[in-house]
Structure formats: C-alpha cells, structure tokens
Structure 1
Amino acid sequence: MMKKCLSFLACGLIGAIALAEPAWAGPARLIINGGAVSIRRAGWSQFSRAGNGTQLGGTDLIRPAAGANASLRCPNGGSRRVSGGSVVSVNNLCGGRSGSIRSGDVLKRLQLPDSIGGDDVSIPYIIAPRSGLLFNANPRFQWNPVADATRYTITLVCEEGCDALEPEAIWRGESETPQLTYPEDAPALQADAFYHLEVIADTGQSSTDAATEDVSFLVLPLEDSVTISEDAELPPELLVFDQATLLLENEYYADAIALLQDQITQTPTPALYQKLAELYLATGLRLLGEQAYAEAIALAGPDDSAEYADLEVWLASHYGLAQLYAEVNETEAAIAQLQAAEKVAALFCANLWLNGIQKKLSQWGTSSDSDATASCSA
C-alpha cells in the first residue's frame, strides 16, 4: 500500500519530480531540406531566417514557412518533423529540456597564426597546403594566380622525415592553372614528414618571395579519434560543413579547404563561405579570408524586403572580420565591423551578440551605440 504524503507540499514536490521532462546537455539542431525556416531565440524581439544546421536552445521558437521541409535533430538523437505555418518551441518538439545557447556558441574566437600573409597579389603565394596537417595522399596544390603568368613550375620539398638527411626536392611539375592535384605516380607522401611547396611563375615571381611566411605542413593520417561523419540523413552542404569544422578543429586545413571549395560550387551557402573564411585565416591568408567573409555577408544579408537570409552568419562574419583587423592592428576597420554588427543585433535584441560586441568595443576604448540598444535594455 502506498504511504501517505506527509504534507501537501511534499506530495506536490514528488509529483513534480515524477513528471519532470528529461534535461539534455546539448542544443538541438535545425535541418532544412527545402523552403525557409525562421527562428526567434529567447530574448529576441522578432523572428529571422535561420541557416541550415543552426543550433537551437530549448526555449527558442521555430517558424517554418508554408511548404518548408524541415526537421529538428533533438539532443537525444531523435528527429522531429517541423510543420510549415506553425510556431513551436524546441522543448515542446523534442519532448524535453534542451541545453541553452551560450555566448561561446556564437561569439567564436578565430584560430589565427602568429603571422598573417597572403596579401601580395603579385606573387604566387601558397594557398594550400601551407600549414597544419594533411591526410590526403593526393592533395590539391593551390597558389595565388599571378597577372600575365601562363605557366607555373611547382616543386615539392621534403624538409624533415624523409630518407634524405637534408631538405630535398622530391617532385617537380608544371601547370597552366593556379592549382594541381598531386599525381598518383608521384613519390608517395610519407607519414610524419614535413613538406613545403615552392611555385615559380613564368613571369619570374616565386612563392618564396613571401619570405616571412611559414608554409610547411605535416603529413599525418587521421587518428581514430578524428572520425569524419557520413550521416546520410544530412543534406550534402551540411555534411561537408560538419566535416570541414572537424578538420579545422584538428588543423587539417588543406583537406577542409578542398572539401568546402568543391561543395560551394554546388551549394554556395553563407555558412560554407564563413567556414572557408575561417580556414583561410587559420593558415594566415588575409585576402582570401576577407573575400570569403564578403561572400558570406552578401549571401546572408538582407534582401529587398530587409529580411536576412541568415542573420547569425551575417553577424558572425562581421565579428570574424573584426578579429582579423584587430590582429593586423587595423583597429578602426575592426571597430567599423563591430559597429555594423551592433546595429543589426540591436534590431533583433540579439543580446548574446550585443553583449559580446559591446564588451569588445569597450576593450578598444569605443562606446556602444546607446540609441540602437535602448529598446533592448528597456
């Protein structure tokens, strides 16, 4: 026989515990297979379009457009279809309490090398592979195209870890375009060996003219801990985004760059360009990083009706450019990027963004736009 509760309060507490929804540590993820989906994060003043793969907290709201084909990947691994024309919270859809989105989830710090180069368009500076790790046995060699050049000579040098005691040129080739896939019949790249590329244009310029740039890379097979996702349920652009993110985190820059470049030719999304910008900058390539961010901003930015295609990628790209300009001591340019992001974040009362942007502006001795943020602090 069930024991009687000692008090009404105790009974209520026991009932609440018994009926409590499960709490999950991680956020949910929005998967869009077609159509437009808008979200409204906790604290936002209005809905805005979301990009494919957006992570969502439990109290965030989802509003698919009529006819949209979308689902929510819940933190427990389950998938829930999101019906068009309705508004639903993540917690209601997943049947539990999903983790919240924190400032670190959106205000990401870039991986930047000690020196930034890749800004002299007159030389065939190396694009990939130029630093970090490499696992592809036949990588795509890429370099900056030089004006009036019609042919390039490429030399692969083994610096350390090969049979020779001194750095040795192990392969040479030629190309009429600023890229070349390492041939199948070329000497195999050895694991745990350091290499670098040298490129000379037929106009005389050489990649070694950028003397301050360290472009050596280490050939290292993927470890068991680095598992490349092959989730067949994800759209191709989202699968590639996940793979590139993992490779970036583990410093396989050239492999990730090639993945993104190929996918962008099929589906040029703002998120893919943003990730490509992060990869270029991780290897010290300023101009290409700026160009990729510019593409992300253009694709994610407002249309004729002032609706953003992907608000958070737009904000993140400006925030990334600000970090780049701060790194190269162009503070005014960095501040301009943050101020542009601040105004738009204030329109939506996107407080995670606002707080992070204003903190950074304060560090640089610049006050925030009080008029723009007044309605959010009211």
Structure 2
Amino acid sequence: MTETQPGTHLLSEICRAGEAVIRLCPDCNNDTRRPFATKEQRLQQLPYLISPRNTLVFNESLTLRWNPVSGATQYTVKVGSEKPKQTNETQMVYDSELKPGEFYSVKVMANNGVAAKEDDDGLNSWFIVLEEEEAKTFQEQVSVIKQQELSHEQEALILAYFYRGNELNAEAIQILEGLVKSGIKTTTVYQLLGDIYQQVGLSLMAKEVYGQGLGLTTEEENSEVKAMMQWGLAEVEYTLGNRDEAAELLQKAKTSYSALGDEIQVEALAKRINQVLERD
C-alpha cells in the first residue's frame, strides 16, 4: 500500500452504494496595542473570500461569497482591475465580462476597515477563467457523466471528483456543500469537502466539516475515510496554531491506520507527530 497524504483519494469504489471510499501559526506576540488572539479568532473576524477561490472557473456569471464580519454593515469588493463595488450582503453576483485565460484577484474589505490580507488568508483569493476550448471539453465530459444511470449521490460525488481533479474547486465545493446541506450521512462527502477547503486555504470551514464528518463515525469504527479525516483535521489544527490538538488527532489517525494494518501510514504519521511536537 502506498502512502496517502490528506487531500488524495481512492476512487476504486466510488460507484458502490453506501459508504464509498475515495481515496502555522507560531505563537503570536501579545503587545499593548491589541489583546492576544489566536489565528483562529483572527480569521473569524476577516471577510475572507469563500468562493470562487484558488480555482479555475467557466466564463459565466459568478457568485462571490465571503465570510461575514461582526459589526460590518457594508463591504467593498474589488475584482482584478475593475472598479470596486459595494454591497450590504456577504455575497455578490459578478457578471462583468471575463477574459478567457485571465487571472483575477479578489479583495474584500468591510466598512470597519478589516480586510483579509495576504499574511492571514488572502493568498488564495483568486480565480482563473478557462480558455474556451478547455471549457468546452470539460462541459462535454460533464454531460457524459450526467447521462449515466447513477443515483443522485453517485453522480454528485463523481462530478465533485471530476471538478476537483481539473482544478475547478469552486464547482466541486458547490456540489458538496449542497450534499452536506441536504443532511447526507455519507462520510466520504465530508472528507472530500474538508480536503478541498483545506487545499484552498479555508481552514475554519475545513475544521467544521471534518468535525461533522467525524461526528458521523463511531468510536470503535476503523475505516480509511475516518483515518483520513482525522489526519486532515490534524493538519488544519496545526495550520491554526493548535499544536497539541493536532498531535492528538494525528495519534488517533495513527491508531486507525494501525487497526487497518497500514504500516506505511503508521510510520508516516509517527514522523509527522514528532514534527508537530517540535517546539521553536
């Protein structure tokens, strides 16, 4: 068996009914100008972009979404070199003309002066518009998938993996968020959505959805999906500066993989635990 890092998946059983297995912040200085806050607390106060984020997009109107900021009553949104637009909502339909192949950055600022800066959560606030031929090819492949005799869940998962595999992260997120909102109990959905959130830098959202997925498992259960969620959540906690929580989750993932007989992953996790516990 090969080593599998969080964010990679096994597709071998995707079309089976039921549970398909589809395979930082250093301590901050507390000065006299502001009270101490963890990275997690600081992120909660930022209007970071949720979607489209670190993704390719089709050349069509987009719905921009961002994190609501407590106390903010208006947001200023700037896409690429376009003139900034203002809204009282936490989302906006962007229907200006897009150029195929172009890179667009997105900046959101709340009217209390708060913005998601690059040293916090702004490095992934961008999207690239697909070239026309590439978009046409993807749409044809999507059409083929939708013509198959699949259940709603199977089709959604296959499309999510297809979009994710082709860097259309916003499309994959939209599908998976819909499944989660519907109350689906398939843990693979939560694992994949958590992985994509983590990949595009949405640490708080990854933490929440991994937690939801693990909440659907039992203490005695030993499954690869559970182990991958434990590992994924551990990496999110580490990114948020929560080293002790990260080490505890990594140990749980190590125990899960040990029960599965996957010694390669057990060895990899042992090394990762040592890295996480190293103090500066």
Where on the TM-score scale, by shorter chain, does this alignment land: which range? 0.7 to 0.9
Superposed displacement of residue 191, structure 1 = 0.9
Superposed displacement of residue 225, structure 1 = 6.2
- Select the structure that is richer in strand: 1
- CA gap 1:124/1:307 in 2 versus in 1, 3 angstroms: same
Residue 351 in structure 1 maps to residue 253 in structure 2: no
Q: Which TM-score applies when normalising by structure 2?
A: 0.72
Tell me the equivalent position of 1:219. 129
Give me the whole-angstrom Cα distance separating, in 2, the residues matched to 1:212 and 1:236: 34
Superposed displacement of residue 143, structure 1 = 0.8
Contact 1:125 1:210 in 2 (8 A): no
Residue 275 in structure 1 maps to residue 192 in structure 2: yes
Give me the whole-angstrom Cα distance separating, in 1, the residues matched to 2:86 and 2:154: 35
Tell me the equivalent position of 2:102. 193
- The amino acid of 1:318's aligned partner reads Q
Superposed displacement of residue 314, structure 1 = 1.6
Give me the whole-angstrom Cα distance separating, in 1, the residues matched to 2:211 and 2:120: 28
Residue 234 in structure 1 maps to residue 150 in structure 2: yes
Residue 123 in structure 1 maps to residue 32 in structure 2: no
Superposed displacement of residue 124, structure 1 = 0.4
SS in 1 for 2:137: coil
Superposed displacement of residue 268, structure 1 = 3.0
- CA gap 1:233/1:312 in 2 versus in 1, 3 angstroms: farther
Q: RMSD across aligned C-alpha pairs, in angstroms?
A: 3.2
- CA gap 1:181/1:261 in 2 versus in 1, 3 angstroms: farther
Tell me the equivalent position of 1:291. 208
SS in 2 for 1:31: coil
SS in 1 for 2:16: strand
Tell me the equivalent position of 2:168. 252
Residue 311 in structure 1 maps to residue 223 in structure 2: yes
Superposed displacement of residue 136, structure 1 = 5.5
- Select the structure that is richer in helix: 2
Tell me the equivalent position of 1:179. 91
Tell me the equivalent position of 1:340. 252
1:1-378 → structure 2 map (5 Å cutoff): 27=12, 29=14, 31-32=16-17, 51=19, 53-54=20-21, 106=23, 120-135=43-58, 137-157=60-80, 168-169=81-82, 172-176=85-89, 178-182=90-94, 186-208=95-117, 213-214=122-123, 215-221=125-131, 222=135, 224=137, 227-228=141-142, 229-230=145-146, 232-269=148-185, 270-299=187-216, 301-302=217-218, 308=221, 311-325=223-237, 332-346=244-258, 349-352=259-262, 354-362=263-271, 364-365=273-274
The C-alpha deviation readout for 1:18-65, integer Å capped at 9, x for no partner, is: xxxxxxxx9455532xxxxxxxxxxxxxxxxx61x337xxxxxxxxxx
- CA gap 1:237/1:267 in 2 versus in 1, 3 angstroms: farther
Superposed displacement of residue 361, structure 1 = 0.4
Contact 1:297 1:313 in 2 (8 A): no
Superposed displacement of residue 357, structure 1 = 2.4
Contact 2:257 2:266 in 1 (8 A): no
Contact 1:151 1:175 in 2 (8 A): yes
Give me the whole-angstrom Cα distance separating, in 1, the residues matched to 2:168 and 2:184: 22
Give me the whole-angstrom Cα distance separating, in 2, the residues matched to 1:30 and 1:280: 24
- Comparing 283-292 with 146-155, greater Cα deviation is found at 146-155
The C-alpha deviation readout for 1:308-363, integer Å capped at 9, x for no partner, is: 4x8332211012223445667765443311211233445xx3112x5412332045
Give me the whole-angstrom Cα distance separating, in 1, the residues matched to 2:265 and 2:63: 38
Superposed displacement of residue 291, structure 1 = 1.4
Give me the whole-angstrom Cα distance separating, in 1, the residues matched to 2:118 and 2:231: 31
Superposed displacement of residue 208, structure 1 = 4.4
Give me the whole-angstrom Cα distance separating, in 1, the residues matched to 2:189 and 2:13: 20
The C-alpha deviation readout for 1:140-166, integer Å capped at 9, x for no partner, is: 211111012233232322xxxxxxxxx
- CA gap 1:181/1:296 in 2 versus in 1, 3 angstroms: farther
Give me the whole-angstrom Cα distance separating, in 1, the residues matched to 2:241 and 2:114: 28
Give me the whole-angstrom Cα distance separating, in 1, the residues matched to 2:243 and 2:50: 26
- The amino acid of 1:249's aligned partner reads G
SS in 2 for 1:359: helix
The C-alpha deviation readout for 1:251-285, integer Å capped at 9, x for no partner, is: 11222212221232224332222111111111112
Give me the whole-angstrom Cα distance separating, in 1, the residues matched to 2:58 and 2:208: 26
- CA gap 1:365/1:121 in 2 versus in 1, 3 angstroms: closer
- The amino acid of 1:169's aligned partner reads E
> Which segments of 5 or more consecutive residues in structure 2 lack a partner in the other structure?
1-10, 24-38, 276-280
Structure 1 vs Structure 2: percent identity of aligned residues?
Answer: 24
